[in-house]
């Protein structure tokens, strides 16, 4: 009996501060200006070519800020011969970005290389995506954080009041963001089977939707 009483006293002492807390999730979605064009290049060369040699082709053409994003092996089939011949290539992948206003100028450089590829290039493909720059995303992130926390607190207070409890202090925070859609893309094929796309945007170039998310956990008291 004394043990049961002791357990009840301990429970009553701990009860005013509820340990589980209340986790509240909130989101805000905005459209950010597509102020940057992100290019991706896949350039195939013979097994004896080096990454530096392939990269130099684009540097000499006027592309700056080129970074390597991967290397793979690929096979290229030349149907201009009879019978067709297949060659194993090293596929060097590069990336670079320019302001959105420079999208067409950069694409013209890519087109020039496609129409008159150096002997070193055995296959060539690129894509371009309009997106918000990291600086634009970071600025919106800083603007929305206080709003997200205010939304979370308001929502948590409503839930706590409905349960007959009081909202305590913040006990944990998790936040993130993600982008969705609205890209403009152009694809260029290899020298033998090339298809030139038109750079455009599904939203008229207006921007990219970003959803910012926050999960805030509050303590609860009686």
pLDDT tens figures, 73-85: 988 787 888 888 8
Res 98 pLDDT > 50 = yes
d(CA 166, CA 139) in angstroms, rounded, equals: 34
- Supply the CATH number for residue 188's domain: 3.30.70
Please state the length of the chain.
222
CB neighbours (10 Å) of residue 20? 8
- Classify residue 136: in a domain, yes or no: no
d(CA 136, CA 153) in angstroms, rounded, equals: 26
Q: Which residues of 103-114 are buried (b: 16+ CB within 10 A; e: fewer)?
A: beebbeebeebb
d(CA 46, CA 114) in angstroms, rounded, equals: 17
- Classify residue 40: in a domain, yes or no: yes
- Classify residue 171: in a domain, yes or no: no
Cβ atoms of residues 110 and 104 within 8 Å? no
181 confidence band (pLDDT: 50, 70, 90) = low
Provide the mean pLDDT of the chain. 81
- Classify residue 92: in a domain, yes or no: yes
Contacts of 134 (CB under 8 A, 6+ apart): none
- Classify residue 23: in a domain, yes or no: no
Contacts of 175 (CB under 8 A, 6+ apart): 145, 148, 212, 213, 214, 215
Per the structure, the complete domain to which residue 66 belongs is given by 36-131+183-203
Task: Quote the number of domains for the chain.
Answer: 1
Q: Which residues of 148-163 are buried (b: 16+ CB within 10 A; e: fewer)?
A: bbebbbeebeeebeee
- Classify residue 31: in a domain, yes or no: no
Contacts of 130 (CB under 8 A, 6+ apart): 34, 36, 37, 100, 103, 182, 183, 184, 201, 205, 208
What pLDDT, in 10s, does the model give residues 19-64? 478 999 999 999 998 899 999 999 999 999 999 999 999 999 999 9
CB neighbours (10 Å) of residue 165? 15
% of the chain with per-residue pLDDT over 70:
79
- Classify residue 190: in a domain, yes or no: yes
Cβ atoms of residues 159 and 34 within 8 Å? no
- Classify residue 25: in a domain, yes or no: no
d(CA 144, CA 132) in angstroms, rounded, equals: 16
- What DSSP element (H or E) covers 208? strand 208-221
């Amino acid at each position: 009996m004394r043990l049961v009483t002791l357990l009840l006293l301990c429970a009553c002492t701990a009860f005013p501060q509820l340990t589980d807390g209340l986790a509240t999730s909130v989101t805000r979605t905005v459209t950010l200006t597509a102020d940057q064009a992100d290019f991706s290049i896949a350039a195939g060369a013979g097994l004896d070519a080096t990454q530096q040699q392939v990269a130099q082709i684009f540097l000499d053409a006027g592309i700056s800020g080129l970074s390597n994003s991967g290397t793979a092996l690929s096979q290229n089939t030349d149907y201009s011969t009879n019978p067709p011949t297949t060659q194993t290539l090293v596929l060097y992948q590069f990336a670079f970005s320019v302001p959105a206003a420079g999208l067409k100028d950069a694409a013209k450089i890519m087109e020039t290389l496609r129409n008159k590829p150096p002997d070193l290039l055995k296959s060539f493909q690129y894509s371009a995506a309009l997106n918000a720059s990291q600086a634009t995303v970071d600025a919106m992130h800083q603007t929305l954080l206080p709003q997200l926390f205010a939304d979370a607190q308001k929502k948590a207070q409503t839930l706590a009041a409905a349960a007959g409890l009081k909202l305590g202090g913040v006990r944990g925070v998790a936040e993130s963001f993600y982008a969705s859609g609205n890209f403009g893309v152009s694809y260029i094929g290899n020298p033998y089977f090339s298809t030139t796309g038109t750079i455009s945007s599904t939203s008229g170039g207006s921007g990219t939707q970003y959803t910012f998310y926050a999960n805030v956990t509050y303590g609860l008291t009686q």
